[in-house]
């Protein structure tokens, strides 16, 4: 920018160059004219000075000559009359001196000695002066005599003071006209000069310039107060013996301005102005013109830039631009418009019809309406319409247009068109996608509903499931004052059918039961299957009118109807527990627990029964609660301890093992049996802790027996499922360093080994690896499949006492027990019979091949010390007479 400015200012100066050149030329001409004028003036001055000086010289010469002539006359007179009397001399001279002259004195020196002088006054000293003896005047005096002519010399400083010119004349006298002496006249130089006109009209200097006998330099003896300028006008006067040079210059010097110089110069300046000013004006005009051209160029550049940008914008937006004059109806289309509307580019003009013809017939009317409305309202608009392409396709056009008025007031519409076919297609696609998405959403919604239904319903029976029930219970929880009754329904013998006829049959039974339930309950009641063979009915009906006990009885009756499944006539039953909310504070969850307790009670009292939760059950619940607290406290205080029941070899009756059985030594209630505390302990999840303490104490006692040399080979403990799942179990057992075979774990057959996970099997393997024997307790109660039990390869099977007890009466039982014993033998698994209550049982079992016997007939469970005494006493041996041991 700066560079540009500098350039333009330089260029600006450029316009003045011709003017400047002319100005220079004029200046030079003016200076020359001025110099010329001055030179002429100086010449004029010089000539006038020369003239003046010439005049002065001739006056001076005239005066000198006049004085000389005067004296010459006197000298001539004196020559004739050398003996003139002094009075006559004085008289003569005073007459001469009276005349106009510059004579100052006259001395007559006959034979070089002054004897007369005029005027005497002031010149007395000259009398008697002998020129021959006077140093200063001798040469001159002798020269006058020798040359015998007048010799003028001067100026000289006079003895009397002042300066003078001395004219010395030879005087001849006598008949022979012989040399007589010298007359010496002194002319007053200053007077001479003054009377010659040497005043202040000029600057003058008079120099004594040559003196043949004197080589001294020129000496000025007269000068005007103003010093003569250089280059003066010179003139010489030969006064006889010397030459005087007069130098003069005008009083105001050579450089004095003439009177008309000012006017001359003003004239010149004016002339110069007249010549130069127009030149500058032209330069200025040129510059202005150039500036305007630059401005115009700049504007043009900007316009170019703007139109380039516009073009770029149009190119980038791919907009076609059109313009329509509403008066002349002239339509102008740019190249892209022509492309959009399939109009050849070479066509010179486009008309409204070009547009109309291209637009899709269905869209023409709408587009025209908008167009006309805009002409009227002058408001901009945006619209879309379709255009038919040459190849029969469709092009979507987006049009934006607005009106404007030209400077002349004509109304015009300018518009831009874009090809938005892709957008339109995309839009259509999006719409399609949206529709699809909506359909999918509906499908999803349906699926969700199905899933929700599924999540709330049991797939098998299509009854609501536990989750649904929980929701309903939640709703009922907000105490709305309405009654709430729950029936907990549990099918009896369902497991048997499942086990004997298979799961498909089981499923059939469940479906049947669900159908029966659904058919027998009113619509307003809610029934759900909450697991296995359990159902819950939820009713908000008034229990006083509904009579749920009667309903339950009807349900049980209906369910108990025999059903035909896979050709089998099946009979199932049901037990029902009822709980009704009496207290608004009672939560639905508590109510469900109550119904469960009632159900449990119904089952306890024999199946196919209805029990309603009542105060007695509530009391029992409280009891259980108290028992729970007691158990926990008892565990803390170590109130659980083992009793020991020995096991005997069936042949030798030697003690081969001891089973440790848990007893709770309650501080107030005394010893409590496992069947009282175990179910509660189980619900408290503390059975594993009981097992652990019993094992610890049993092992402690075993060490004690060993110490006493009793030779008890092994001790058995009961191990619960909880205990088996105790994570630290194996590590704890390892730490105990148990001798191989000295410890047996009795696992209940009911621990369902068929469904046991790998973790449980793994634990059992690890236990075996530690040398601890595995014994299946309560074997033969039919809970587990024999195959899966044998897969565990236990050390022993312990035949349940419910199989043992009826042995004597039933041969079927005998063969069952025998086959168990035989299977064991094949598999190298020993058998233990428990619940051996009589010696007949013992004998029979021995004959069946059972290895070990345990039961009241031989010994009851005993406290540790009692067992020690018992074992030492050996009172059970035949030789000691077998008597039952003390009861626990
Ligand atoms: P179980 O393992 O079957 O124990 C044998 C039960 O039968 C013992 O009852 C025992 O006193 C009893 N009994 C022994 N001989 C006879 C007899 O000739 N006739 C009759 N009718 N019964 C006899 P107990 O001690 O009341 O134990 C009941 C159950 O409690 C045990 O059955 C066992 O399953 C469980 N139990 C006992 N102690 C523990 C323990 O420490 N941990 C675990 N988890 N369960 C234990
Ligand atoms: Ca046992
Ligand atoms: Ca048992």
Q: d(Cα 173, Cα 374) in Å, to the nearest integer?
A: 150
**Is it true that 320-419 and 627-873 share their CATH fold?**
no
Q: Over 80: is that where the pLDDT of 229 sits? A: yes
Query: What count of residues does the chain have?
Result: 888
Which residues face 118 on adjacent strands?
106
Does the beta carbon of 780 lie inside 6 Å of ligand 1?
no
| Rounded distance from Cα 729 to ligand 2 centre (Å) | 19
Does the beta carbon of 841 lie inside 6 Å of ligand 1?
no
- Pick the atom of ligand 1 nearest to 834's CA: 15
Q: Are 628 and 646 in contact (CB under 8 A)?
A: no
Does the beta carbon of 646 lie inside 6 Å of ligand 1?
no
345 burial level (CB within 10 Å; 0-12, 13-18, 19+): exposed
In percent, how much of the chain has pLDDT > 70?
Answer: 95
In which band, very low, low, confident or very high, does the pLDDT at 1 lie, cut at 50, 70 and 90? very low
- Which ligand is closest in space to the CA of residue 716? 2
Does the beta carbon of 837 lie inside 6 Å of ligand 1?
yes
Distance of CA 48 to the CA centre of its chain: 100
Q: What is the pLDDT of residue 103?
A: 86
Closest residue by Cα to atom 15, ligand 1, is 855
Which residues face 132 on adjacent strands?
none
- Residue to mutate, 648, 661, 720, 745, ligand 1, most ligand atoms under 8 Å from C-beta: 661
Give one word for 509, left, alpha or beta, with left for phi > 0 and alpha for psi -120 to 50.
alpha
- Which ligand is closest in space to the CA of residue 694? 1
- The SS3 of residue 99 is coil
| Rounded distance from Cα 617 to ligand 3 centre (Å) | 29
In percent, how much of the chain has pLDDT > 90?
Answer: 42
Average pLDDT of the chain is 88
| Rounded distance from Cα 750 to ligand 2 centre (Å) | 12
Does the beta carbon of 696 lie inside 6 Å of ligand 1?
no
CB contact set of 567 (below 8 Å; sequence gap of 6+): none
CA 583 vs CA 481, 484, 541: distances in Å: 10, 10, 16
Does the beta carbon of 692 lie inside 6 Å of ligand 1?
no
Does the beta carbon of 749 lie inside 6 Å of ligand 1?
no
Closest residue by Cα to atom 12, ligand 1, is 835
Average pLDDT over residues 714-740: 93
Does the beta carbon of 662 lie inside 6 Å of ligand 1?
yes
| Rounded distance from Cα 799 to ligand 3 centre (Å) | 7
- Pick the atom of ligand 1 nearest to 837's CA: 18
The 8-class DSSP code of residue 58 comes to H
Does the beta carbon of 242 lie inside 6 Å of ligand 1?
no
Q: d(Cα 662, Cα 719) in Å, to the nearest integer?
A: 11
Across the beta sheet with 534-539, what order do the strands follow? 526-531, 534-539, 485-492, 573-580, 610-612
Q: Over 50: is that where the pLDDT of 778 sits? A: yes
Q: What is the pLDDT of residue 782?
A: 66
| Residue 286: φ, ψ to 5° | -60, -45
Q: What is the pLDDT of residue 831?
A: 96
Q: Over 90: is that where the pLDDT of 97 sits? A: no
- Which ligand is closest in space to the CA of residue 800? 3
Q: What is the pLDDT of residue 659?
A: 98
- Pick the atom of ligand 1 nearest to 854's CA: 15
Distance of CA 706 to the CA centre of its chain: 83
Strands (E), 710-858: 715-719, 743-748, 773-779, 796-799, 830-834, 852-854
Q: Within 10 A of 349 (CB to CB), how many other CB atoms are there?
A: 9
Q: What is the pLDDT of residue 190?
A: 83
Q: d(Cα 880, Cα 876) in Å, to the nearest integer?
A: 6
Decide yes or no: CATH 3.30.450.20 for domain 457-613: no
Closest residue by Cα to atom 27, ligand 1, is 674
Closest residue by Cα to atom 20, ligand 1, is 835
- Pick the atom of ligand 1 nearest to 645's CA: 14
| Rounded distance from Cα 733 to ligand 3 centre (Å) | 23
CB contact set of 427 (below 8 Å; sequence gap of 6+): none
| Domain ranges (residues) in the chain | 320-419, 457-613, 627-873
- Pick the atom of ligand 1 nearest to 643's CA: 25
Over residues 588-624, the pLDDT tens digits come to 898 999 999 999 899 988 888 999 999 888 898 888 8
- Residue to mutate, 642, 658, 671, 674, ligand 1, most ligand atoms under 8 Å from C-beta: 674
- Which of 871, 498, 549, 480 is closest to 712 using CA atoms? 871
Least reliable range by pLDDT among 215-224, 338-347, 385-394? 215-224
| Rounded distance from Cα 787 to ligand 2 centre (Å) | 21
Does the beta carbon of 855 lie inside 6 Å of ligand 1?
yes
Does the beta carbon of 833 lie inside 6 Å of ligand 1?
no
Helix, strand and coil percent figures for the chain, each rounded to 5? 50, 25, 25
Over residues 242-251, the pLDDT tens digits come to 788 888 888 8
| Rounded distance from Cα 854 to ligand 2 centre (Å) | 10
Q: What is the pLDDT of residue 748?
A: 84
- Residue to mutate, 834, 855, 864, ligand 1, most ligand atoms under 8 Å from C-beta: 834
Decide yes or no: CATH 3.30.450.20 for domain 320-419: yes
Q: What is the pLDDT of residue 575?
A: 96
- Which ligand is closest in space to the CA of residue 658? 2
56 burial level (CB within 10 Å; 0-12, 13-18, 19+): buried
Angle value at C-alpha 20, between 19 and 23, nearest 5 degrees: 85
CB contact set of 268 (below 8 Å; sequence gap of 6+): 30, 33, 34
Angle value at C-alpha 669, between 664 and 671, nearest 5 degrees: 35
Task: Give the side-chain half-sphere CA count within 13 A for 316.
Answer: 6
- Residue to mutate, 718, 748, 798, 804, ligand 1, most ligand atoms under 8 Å from C-beta: 718
- Which of 643, 642, 695, 659 is closest to 853 using CA atoms? 659
Could you tell me where the DSSP H helices lie in 104-158?
135-147
Q: d(Cα 388, Cα 369) in Å, to the nearest integer?
A: 19
Q: What is the pLDDT of residue 885?
A: 44
- Pick the atom of ligand 1 nearest to 640's CA: 41
Average pLDDT over residues 669-682: 94
Q: What is the radius of gyration, based on Cα positions, of the chain?
A: 83
Q: Are 472 and 526 in contact (CB under 8 A)?
A: yes
Q: What is the pLDDT of residue 730?
A: 94
Least reliable range by pLDDT among 6-20, 684-698, 736-750? 6-20
Stretch (H or E) spanning 670: strand 670-672
Over residues 114-148, the pLDDT tens digits come to 888 888 888 888 888 888 888 878 888 888 888 88
| Residue 467: φ, ψ to 5° | -60, -45
| Rounded distance from Cα 859 to ligand 1 centre (Å) | 13
In which band, very low, low, confident or very high, does the pLDDT at 888 lie, cut at 50, 70 and 90? very low
- Pick the atom of ligand 1 nearest to 661's CA: 38
- Pick the atom of ligand 1 nearest to 800's CA: 3
Q: What is the pLDDT of residue 35?
A: 87
CATH topology of domain 627-873: TIM Barrel (3.20.20)
Q: d(Cα 551, Cα 558) in Å, to the nearest integer?
A: 10
| Rounded distance from Cα 638 to ligand 1 centre (Å) | 20
In which band, very low, low, confident or very high, does the pLDDT at 743 lie, cut at 50, 70 and 90? very high
Q: Are 657 and 698 in contact (CB under 8 A)?
A: no
Q: Are 207 and 247 in contact (CB under 8 A)?
A: yes
Does the beta carbon of 834 lie inside 6 Å of ligand 1?
yes
Does the beta carbon of 675 lie inside 6 Å of ligand 1?
yes
Over residues 434-471, the pLDDT tens digits come to 999 999 999 989 888 888 888 899 999 999 999 999 99
């Amino acid at each position: 920018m700066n560079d540009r400015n500098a350039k333009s200012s330089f260029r600006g100066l450029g316009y003045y160059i011709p003017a400047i050149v002319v100005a220079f030329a004029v200046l030079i001409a003016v200076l020359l004219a001025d110099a010329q004028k001055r030179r002429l003036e100086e010449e004029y001055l010089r000539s006038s000075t020369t003239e003046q000086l010439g005049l002065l010289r001739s006056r001076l010469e005239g005066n000198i000559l006049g004085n000389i002539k005067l004296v010459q006359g006197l000298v001539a007179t004196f020559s004739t009359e050398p003996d003139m009397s002094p009075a006559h001399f004085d008289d003569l001279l005073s007459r001469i001196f009276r005349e106009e002259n510059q004579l100052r004195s006259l001395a007559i020196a006959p034979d070089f000695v002054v004897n007369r002088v005029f005027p005497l006054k002031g010149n007395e000293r000259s009398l008697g002066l002998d020129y021959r003896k006077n140093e200063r005047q001798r040469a001159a005096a002798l020269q006058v005599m020798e040359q015998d002519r007048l010799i003028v010399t001067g100026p000289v400083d006079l003895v009397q003071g002042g300066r003078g010119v001395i004219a010395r004349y030879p005087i001849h006298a006598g008949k022979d006209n012989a040399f007589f002496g010298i007359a010496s006249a002194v002319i007053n130089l200053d007077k001479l000069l003054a009377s010659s006109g040497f005043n202040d009209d000029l600057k003058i200097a008079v120099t004594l310039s040559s003196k043949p006998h004197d080589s001294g330099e020129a000496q000025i003896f007269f000068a005007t107060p103003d010093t003569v300028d250089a280059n003066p006008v010179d003139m010489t006067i030969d006064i006889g013996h010397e030459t005087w040079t007069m130098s003069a210059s005008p009083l105001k010097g050579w450089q004095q301005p003439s009177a008309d110089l000012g006017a001359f110069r003003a004239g010149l300046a004016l002339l110069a102005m007249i010549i130069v000013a127009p030149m500058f004006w032209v330069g200025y005009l040129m510059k202005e013109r150039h500036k305007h051209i630059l401005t115009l160029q700049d504007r043009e550049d900007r316009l170019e830039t703007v139109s380039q940008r516009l073009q770029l914008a149009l190119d980038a937006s791919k907009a076609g631009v059109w313009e329509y004059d509403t008066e002349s109806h002239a339509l102008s289309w740019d190249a892209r418009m022509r492309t959009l509307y399939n109009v050849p580019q070479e066509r010179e003009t486009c008309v409204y019809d070009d547009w109309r013809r291209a637009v899709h017939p269905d869209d023409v009317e709408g587009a025209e309406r908008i167009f006309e409305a805009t002409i009227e309202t002058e408001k901009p608009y945006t619209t879309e319409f379709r255009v038919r392409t040459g190849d029969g396709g469709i092009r979507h056009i987006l049009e934006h247009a607005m009106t404007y008025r030209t400077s002349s007031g004509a109304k015009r519409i300018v518009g831009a068109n874009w090809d938005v076919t892709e957008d339109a297609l995309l839009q259509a696609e999006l719409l399609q996608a949206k529709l699809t998405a909506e359909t999918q959403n509906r499908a999803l919604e349906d699926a969700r509903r199905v899933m929700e239904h599924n999540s709330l319903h049991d797939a098998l029976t299509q009854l609501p499931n536990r989750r649904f029930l929980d929701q309903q219970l939640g709703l009922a929880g907000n105490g709305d004052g309405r009654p709430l009754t729950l029936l907990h329904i549990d099918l009896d013998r369902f497991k048997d059918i499942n086990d004997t006829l298979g799961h498909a049959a089981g499923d059939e039974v469940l479906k049947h039961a669900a159908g029966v339930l659904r058919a027998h309950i009113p619509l307003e009641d809610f029934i759900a299957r909450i697991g296995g063979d359990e159902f819950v009915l939820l009713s908000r009906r008034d229990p006083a009118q509904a009579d749920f006990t009667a309903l339950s009885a009807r349900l049980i009756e209906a369910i108990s109807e025999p059903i035909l499944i896979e050709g089998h006539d099946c009979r199932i039953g049901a037990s029902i527990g009822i709980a009704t909310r009496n207290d608004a504070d009672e939560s639905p969850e508590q109510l469900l627990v109550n119904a469960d307790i009632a159900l449990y009670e119904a089952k306890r009292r024999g199946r196919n029964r209805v029990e309603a939760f009542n105060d007695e059950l509530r009391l029992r619940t409280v009891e259980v609660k108290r028992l729970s607290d007691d158990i926990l406290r008892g565990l803390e205080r170590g109130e659980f301890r083992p009793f020991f029941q020995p096991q005997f070899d069936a042949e030798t009756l030697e003690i081969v093992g001891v089973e440790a059985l848990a007893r709770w030594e309650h501080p107030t209630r005394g010893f409590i049996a496992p069947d009282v505390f175990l179910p509660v302990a189980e619900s408290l999840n503390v059975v594993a802790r009981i097992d652990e303490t019993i094992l610890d104490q049993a092992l402690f006692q075993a060490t004690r027996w060993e110490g006493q040399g009793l030779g008890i080979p092994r001790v058995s403990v009961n191990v619960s499922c909880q205990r088996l799942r105790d994570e630290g179990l194996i590590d704890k057992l390892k730490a105990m360093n148990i001798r191989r075979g000295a410890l047996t774990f009795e696992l209940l057959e009911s621990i369902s080994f068929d469904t046991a996970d790998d973790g449980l099997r793994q634990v059992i393997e690890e236990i075996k690896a530690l040398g601890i024997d595995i014994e299946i307790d309560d074997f033969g109660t039919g809970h587990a499949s024999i195959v899966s039990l044998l897969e565990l390869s236990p050390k022993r099977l312990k035949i349940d006492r419910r199989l043992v007890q009826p042995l004597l009466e039933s041969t079927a039982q005998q063969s069952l027990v025998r086959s168990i014993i035989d299977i064991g033998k094949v598999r190298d698994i020993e058998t233990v019979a428990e619940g051996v209550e009589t010696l007949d049982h013992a004998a029979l079992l021995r004959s069946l091949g059972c290895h070990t016997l345990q039961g009241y007939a031989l010994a009851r469970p005993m406290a540790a010390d009692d067992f020690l005494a018992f074992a030492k006493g050996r009172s059970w041996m035949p030789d000691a007479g077998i008597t039952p041991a003390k009861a626990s």
